[in-house]
Structures are given as structure tokens and as C-alpha cells.
Amino acid sequence: MADGIVRAAGGIVWRTNGNDLVEILVVHRPGEGYDDWTFPKGKRDDIDSSEEDCAIREVWEETGYHCQLGHEIARINYIDRKGRPKRVRYWTMTVSGGAESYSNEVDDMMWMSVDRARKKITYERDLLVIDCFENYLRSGLTE
């Protein structure tokens, strides 16, 4: 944060269900200042060698899933709740192991269709992330 920007990273964890419908994972963060539905993400810290490592660590910490990093799909800039500029980078991710478990930051998570996620998420900025994810799916880079 030498330049004053809080750097964070996260993932759009996705899968296809038995009907070949794409589902994405959204998490609920309880507590003071949150009570929101969003995507797993968090601030980069000293143990992360890169923002990619941060994204993988944060998704695992918040969901219990070990994920394979895919393509970077979005960079979102906004002012956080403490008034600081924040940049979040998002990558597509697929589950490679682990099991659903909750952290002290997350009390619920749901797999849902992209359309349902659009209605469930709390922040308008997350709609941009969903748009980027849909562009990624249309691009054919998923194979």
C-alpha cells in the first residue's frame, strides 16, 4: 500500500451443474459494516508473493475450497468503507479440492446461476464482475 491503494484479490469460482448450467459461488459476510452477498476476496498481505497468490488464499480461507487459478477477468476500483482507494483483481477459478467450510468472515455461501447471482449480490460494482465473467464464457477461453 505504498501508493495508498489497498490491493485485494478474489475469485469467481464457477462450475457446471448436471444440466450444464454455469453456477458461480457467492458468499455472505455477516457483521458490522457488511451483511452482504459478494464474491470471495480479501486484502493482499505480507505472506502473499503476488496478487494471484492472494486470490487463491482468500478463496480458500473464506470457502474451504482449493481452487485452480484461471484467467484474470476484472479489475474494480472503488473507495472502501474506511475511505481508502481500493483495487480488487478477480480471476476465474475452479475447485480442485477441499470442502465447503466457513470462516469467521463468511457465514453462508451459495452456488447459483449467473442470473440469480445478479439478483442476490449486494454491490452494483459486482455486476461489472459478472459482466466480465459472462464475456469470459462467451470468449471460449474456458477450455
In the structure, what pLDDT confidence band is assigned to residue 124 with cuts at 50, 70 and 90? very high
Walk me through the domains of the chain, giving residue ranges and CATH numbers.
6-139 (3.90.79.10)
**What's the average model confidence in pLDDT over 18-36?**
89
Under DSSP, is residue 40 helix (H, G, I), strand (E, B) or coil? coil
pLDDT given at position 4: 84
pTM of the model: 0.91
**What's the average model confidence in pLDDT over 46-69?**
92
Burial class (CB in 10 A: 0-12, 13-18, 19+), 93: buried
